[in-house]
């Protein structure tokens, strides 16, 4: 039997209720459950259409990202089930999901468990009330301890990840570097095992010197309290590094599903369309959803 090659899977769910702090390209904004259900149907159709395409790959890590993937709610379970049916996923493969605490409840958590999510990367952006009200217009900061204590701890004690922002102008009379340091210290005191730092959109950004000062403060606070920067802007406690990110950085073949997803394998890179209507109408037809194919070597 031919030995299978390692691969990673990226599942793109580019939906976000409000993205004013980061303003990512291709993000689908607002809440529309019917629209999300249509997308989940189309995503599963694309995954199932790939049956047999990656039989020589062993998936070592899965990332549910592209936006706030937890917005898919109960559909996350059937999306990941489709991935496992189509791809050979290693038994110990971690499944990391970009998340919002607003999506975690007694109704959704069973489906996240069924999907085998091993880390919830909560896009809090700030843990400092002064900055939180400016950056995060979706969640309630006071809900984070409740979600962690009542849901994540009953699931596993090392499933908390945080996505934190830096580089924004401070409110009048405030100290931006001090504010983000407080966020980093709060993250270090929490049960979080992983933290990713993201720079705010240009519209909110401070000057270059201030951006660098804030990053230095956050980096220092995290590394002084048990975190290691294992990749640029990615921090983890010992042994809790993100396997998907590490393997992606090492150039391991990547299988991508969903809007804007990228597949890199065998010296070629295939990019999916970001057009939601086109994607949902394609019913998994590769020719209809592929935006571009280019050589990588």
C-alpha to C-alpha distance for 52 and 105, rounded to whole angstroms? 36
Mean pLDDT for the chain overall: 95
Distances (CA, A) of 242 to 45, 59, 69, 224: 28, 14, 17, 20
**pLDDT tens across 43-88, in order?**
999 999 988 899 999 999 999 999 999 999 999 999 999 999 999 9
Mean pLDDT of 210-233: 97
pLDDT of residue 62: 99
Tell me whether strands 234-236 and 194-199 are parallel, antiparallel or unpaired: antiparallel
Directed axis angle between helix 176-189 and helix 208-223, to 10°? 20
CB 96 within 8 A of CB 62: yes
Identify whether the C-beta of residue 7 lies closer than 8 Å to the C-beta of residue 255. Answer: yes
For 73, the 3-state DSSP assignment is coil
The whole-number pLDDT of residue 287 equals 83
Q: Is the pLDDT higher at 233 or at 283? A: 233
pTM: 0.95
Question: Would you say residue 171 has pLDDT above 80?
Answer: no
**Residue-level pLDDT at 51:** 83
Read off the pLDDT of each residue in 275-295 and give the average, rounded to a whole number. Answer: 90
Q: Are 32 and 71 in contact (CB under 8 A)?
A: no
Q: Which phi and psi angles does 284 have, rounded to 5°? A: 80, 0
- Give residue 1's pLDDT band: very low, low, confident or very high (50, 70, 90): low
CA-based torsion, 194, 199, 201, 205: positive or negative: positive
Q: Tens of pLDDT along 239-254?
A: 999 999 999 999 999 9
């Amino acid at each position: 039997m031919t030995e299978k090659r390692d691969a990673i899977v990226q599942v793109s769910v580019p939906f976000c209720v409000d993205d004013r702090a980061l303003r990512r390209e291709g993000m689908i904004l607002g809440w529309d459950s019917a629209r999300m259900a249509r997308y989940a149907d189309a995503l599963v159709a694309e995954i199932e259409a790939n049956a047999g395409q990656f039989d020589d790959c062993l998936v070592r890590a899965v990332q549910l990202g592209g936006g706030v993937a937890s917005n898919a709610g109960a559909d996350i379970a059937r999306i990941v089930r489709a991935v496992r049916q189509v791809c050979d996923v290693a038994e110990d493969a971690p499944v990391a999901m970009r998340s919002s605490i607003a999506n975690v409840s007694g109704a959704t958590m069973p489906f996240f468990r069924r999907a085998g999510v091993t880390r919830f990367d909560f896009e809090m952006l700030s843990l400092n009330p002064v900055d939180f009200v400016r950056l995060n217009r979706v969640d309630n900061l006071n809900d984070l301890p409740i979600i962690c204590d009542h849901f994540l701890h009953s699931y596993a004690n090392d499933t908390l990840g945080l996505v934190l922002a830096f580089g924004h102008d401070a409110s009048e009379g405030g100290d931006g570097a001090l504010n983000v340091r407080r966020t980093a210290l709060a993250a270090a005191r929490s049960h979080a095992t992983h933290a990713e730092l993201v720079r705010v959109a240009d519209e909110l950004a401070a000057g270059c010197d201030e951006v660098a000062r804030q990053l230095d403060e956050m980096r220092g606070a995290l590394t002084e309290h048990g975190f290691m920067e294992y990749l640029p802007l990615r921090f983890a406690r010992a042994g809790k590094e993100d396997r998907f990110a590490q393997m992606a950085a090492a150039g391991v073949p990547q299988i991508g599903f969903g809007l804007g997803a990228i597949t890199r394998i065998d010296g070629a890179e295939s990019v999916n369309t970001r057009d939601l209507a086109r994607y949902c109408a394609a019913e998994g037809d590769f020719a209809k959803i592929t935006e571009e194919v280019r050589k990588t070597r």
